[in-house]
C-alpha cells in the first residue's frame, strides 16, 4: 500500500461541521435581527434558503465568477429574496453577524480529532481551504485543530483557489513536498478531487452523503475513520 509523506485536508464539510455550525449561527441571527418581523416564517426556513444560496455562491466563487465581497453579501440577498425581501442593509447586517459568529462555533464532523491524532503520528498534515484566511484561522484556533497542521493555505496566501493548479502547487511548495508524496482529502468533487487529480496528487473523496458514481478518485470514504483502512 502506498504511503504518503504529506496529507492535505480540506476544512469546511470535511473536518469542520459547516452545516451544524452554520445552522446554529443562522438561528441566533434570526432571533437577534428579529427576522420574523420581515416575514420569514422560521429560523429553519431561513437556514434552508441560506444553505441553497450559500452553495450556489461558493460554486460561483470557485469558478471565479464572483469575488470574495460578492460571496460575502450575495448569499444573504438571495436567501432574503426567497421571501420577497429586498433589503441590502439587512443583508449586510446578516453578513456581519454571520461572519463574526460562525467561526466561533466548535462543532467538528464525527471522528475528526481521533483521525488527526492517528495520522499526525505517521505523517505531516496540512490544511488547504478556500475559506477566507482570517476566518479559517479563527475556526482552527477555536476548535483545537490548529496544532495538527504544519501549514495552512488559503486563497489569501496563494492568490489562487482550489481547483486551480496554482493553489495546489503553492501548498506543495510551502510543505516542501512533491505531488507524488501527497494526498488530498476533501468533500468537494471539483475543488478537492478534480483539482488535486489535475496536479498529479492522489485524492480521497469524502462522501458522507453516499452519492453514487460522482467522481473517480484514488480512494473514497463515507466516514473519516475509514482513512485507517489505507493510511
Report 167-196 residues binding Mg ion (CB under 5 A). 187-188
At 230, list the grid cell.
Answer: 489505507
Question: What is the Cα–Cα distance from 54 to 22, expressed in whole angstroms?
Answer: 10
Query: Is residue 12 close enough to count as binding Mg ion by CB under 5 A?
Result: yes
Are the CB atoms for 185 and 204 separated by under 8 Å? yes
Eight-state DSSP code of residue 173: H
Nearer to Mg ion, 12 or 202 (CB): 12
Question: What is the Cα–Cα distance from 230 to 3, expressed in whole angstroms?
Answer: 9
Residue nearest to Mg ion as judged by C-beta position: 13
Q: Select from 218, 169, 224 the least CA-distant residue to 193.
A: 218
Size of the site for Mg ion (CB under 5 A): 6
Nearer to Mg ion, 40 or 145 (CB): 145
Q: How far is the CB of 208 from Mg ion (least distance, A)?
A: 11
Nearer to Mg ion, 10 or 24 (CB): 10
Q: How far is the CB of 9 from Mg ion (least distance, A)?
A: 9
Nearer to Mg ion, 43 or 109 (CB): 109
At 165, list the grid cell.
Answer: 493548479
Are the CB atoms for 221 and 44 separated by under 8 Å? no
Question: What is the Cα–Cα distance from 119 to 96, expressed in whole angstroms?
Answer: 36
Query: Is residue 23 close enough to count as binding Mg ion by CB under 5 A?
Result: no
Q: How far is the CB of 80 from Mg ion (least distance, A)?
A: 25
Query: Is residue 59 close enough to count as binding Mg ion by CB under 5 A?
Result: no
Q: Which residues bind Mg ion (CB under 5 A)?
A: 10, 12-14, 187-188
Amino acid at each position: 500500500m502506498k504511503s504518503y509523506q504529506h496529507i492535505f485536508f480540506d476544512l469546511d464539510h470535511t473536518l469542520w461541521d459547516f452545516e451544524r455550525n452554520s445552522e446554529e449561527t443562522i438561528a441566533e441571527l434570526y432571533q437577534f435581527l428579529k427576522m420574523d418581523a420581515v416575514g420569514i416564517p422560521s429560523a429553519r426556513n431561513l437556514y434552508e434558503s441560506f444553505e441553497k444560496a450559500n452553495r450556489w455562491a461558493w460554486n460561483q466563487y470557485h469558478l471565479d465568477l464572483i469575488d470574495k465581497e460578492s460571496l460575502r453579501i450575495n448569499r444573504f440577498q438571495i436567501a432574503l429574496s426567497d421571501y420577497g425581501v429586498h433589503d441590502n442593509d439587512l443583508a449586510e447586517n446578516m453578513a456581519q453577524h454571520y461572519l463574526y459568529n460562525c467561526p466561533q462555533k466548535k462543532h467538528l464532523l464525527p471522528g475528526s480529532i481521533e483521525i488527526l491524532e492517528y495520522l499526525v503520528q505517521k505523517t505531516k498534515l496540512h490544511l488547504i481551504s478556500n475559506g477566507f484566511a482570517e476566518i479559517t484561522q479563527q475556526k482552527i484556533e477555536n476548535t483545537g485543530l490548529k496544532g495538527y497542521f504544519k501549514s495552512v493555505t488559503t486563497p489569501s496566501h496563494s492568490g489562487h483557489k482550489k481547483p486551480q493548479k496554482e493553489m495546489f502547487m503553492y501548498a506543495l511548495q510551502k510543505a516542501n513536498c512533491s505531488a507524488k508524496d501527497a494526498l488530498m482529502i476533501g468533500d468537494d468533487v471539483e475543488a478537492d478531487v478534480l483539482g488535486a487529480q489535475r496536479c498529479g496528487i492522489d485524492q480521497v473523496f469524502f462522501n458522507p452523503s453516499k452519492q453514487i458514481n460522482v467522481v473517480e478518485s484514488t480512494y473514497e470514504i463515507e466516514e473519516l475513520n475509514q482513512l485507517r483502512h489505507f493510511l
